[in-house]
Amino acid sequence: MDIEPAVSRDIITRLKRARGQIDGIIAMIEDDRPCVDVVTQLAAVSKALDRAGFKVVATGLRQCIVEGENAPMTEEQLEKLFLSLA
């Protein structure tokens, strides 16, 4: 799947932000921070990862619409990917 450079940068930015959040969560656990703080950050990183995944699937869907039979994935493959994020 070809991802436009602007979209790719957005996805990478989201993933790097999530990586930073995960590092923060690890530090919070090591520092015995309250459970509510840890869970709040886990929810935030989960949302960031979901958004990155949806962006990838949306890009694949757009390519399938534009490229028709020459698309990099079938409709079934895209649906499976999308549902794996749910």
Q: What is the helix (H) or strand (E) element at residue 6, kind and residue range?
A: helix 5-30
Please tell me the pTM assigned to this model. Answer: 0.71
List the chain domain ranges.
Answer: 5-84
Distance (Å, whole) CA 3 – CA 37 = 35
| pLDDT for res 80 | 82
* Pick among 1.10.3720.10, 1.10.10.10, 1.20.210.10, 1.20.58.1000: CATH of 5-84: 1.20.58.1000
The pLDDT tens digits for 16-62 are: 999 999 999 999 999 999 999 999 999 999 999 988 988 888 887 77
Cβ neighbours, 10 Å, residue 1: 12
Distance (Å, whole) CA 60 – CA 4 = 11
